[in-house]
Amino acid sequence: MPRTNAGRRWKPELIVSKDTVSGATVRQLTNYMAHSHHFYFTYPCWYDNGRKIVIHSDRENRTNLYGVDIETGEMTQLTDWNPDLEPGGLCKNPVRDEVYFSSKGTLTALDLNTLESRVLFERPEGYVGNSADATADGKFLCAGFKQDLSDKIMMDLGHGYIGFNEYWAAMPHSMIWKIPIDGGDAQLVHEENYWMGHFNCSPNLPNIMTFCHEGPWNKVDNRIWGLDTQTGEAWKIRPTAPGEVVGHEYWMSDGEHIGYHGGNAQGGIFGSIRYDDTDRVEAPFNGHCWHFHSHMLDLVVGDGNAQQPYLLAWRFRDGQFEGPKVLAWHRGSFHTQKQHVHPCVNSRGTQVVYTADPHGYAQVFVVDVPEFEALPDRSEVTRNKEV
């Protein structure tokens, strides 16, 4: 894998401004005439003690990884792939500055300081998938793969979820592998004939992870599952009753509770639950968004939608959610996966990274989080502003 431009410094493209709706400080980290986007919101890739993030950026007719300093905008190219090498998936080791990605059927490690890479695992033949996450102790990757049915089903999930329902109905064989990061034999820890996805390791408990039964939320047998990677035991988390749906689960900062959103006959819901299916906190929720993320329940951020393209904020107080407040007017289109906003709150709850394309190309932004009381109510903003 050639890396002749790895380490190349790019001129900072940083634009610092005040959001025109909330007044919050917004840092636009990229400003290139092609798409750039950050990591998927359940796989935070802040590094250098939270001063930098890893992003994908389409430059010079190829997609590569870049490290960007949030304060200065200094940008370093981390990889140099041939144009036909499209990297997929991205996660970071929680105890050292190293990231992992999928490319050409391999799971590969990249040291963010030396930019040296090494192959960790070859994807099983006859399977697809690029999602992996590092365990809390930084010793293993937990990676998921699903049966390749491209010869039977036309699929393009990144550009309109084409084939989504058909693939779910096919009940493909899926596997979760536990892969030693510093060498050793990989272990198959779970498999079943169901489409599995969203493989997320607890940021605090090294042997606990979640995965989901992917597919239409109203049709899957159970969305959120827990897995002990030492014993192989799997269990349901937040089982749904008829008429209920939940999904887009993620780990909260304590590494024990899982956030999720969904709905029932009365409307939207948002909640958190402990990984062992106890300590459930849930309340009605007002505000349609594609995705949500939070530090804990003291700050929940959603991405709105194409009709009301705002970053929205809530907090849980006295048994109910306050909000939504407007954190930023992102003006994102949500046109493809690269252009999904996917807000991700940092571990301190002080900044949110997101992707949006207000001027046509997707760019990466970081917004500082002001005091909750200082943010404008969405009802007031949408009443007074055309979008």
Biggest CA–CA distance in the chain, Å, is 60
Per the CB < 8 A criterion, the answer to whether 56 and 40 are in contact is no
Place of tokens 């590494």: 255
Q: How far apart are CA 252 and CA 296, in angstroms?
A: 6
Per the CB < 8 A criterion, the answer to whether 341 and 362 are in contact is no
Residue 112 covered by a domain: yes
Residue 382 covered by a domain: no
Task: Work out the pLDDT band at 1, boundaries 50, 70, 90.
Answer: very low
**282-322 tens-digit pLDDT:** 998 887 888 999 989 999 999 988 888 999 999 999 999 99
Tell me if the bond preceding 324 is cis, omega within 30° of 0: yes
Residue 297 covered by a domain: no
Output the domain CATH number for residue 202. 2.130.10.10
Mean pLDDT across 326-344: 92
Residue 186 covered by a domain: yes
Task: Determine the structural domain holding residue 222 and report its residue range.
Answer: 87-237
Host H or E run for residue 378: helix 378-384
- Three-state DSSP at 338 gives helix
- Measuring CA to CA, which residue among 116, 54, 114 is closest to residue 87? 54
Question: Where do runs of H (alpha helix) occur along 97-195?
Answer: 164-169
Residue 283 covered by a domain: no
Residue 2 covered by a domain: no
Mean pLDDT across 215-221: 91
Task: Work out the pLDDT band at 96, boundaries 50, 70, 90.
Answer: very high
Residue 199 covered by a domain: yes
Give the number of domains in the chain.
Answer: 1
Residue 384 covered by a domain: no
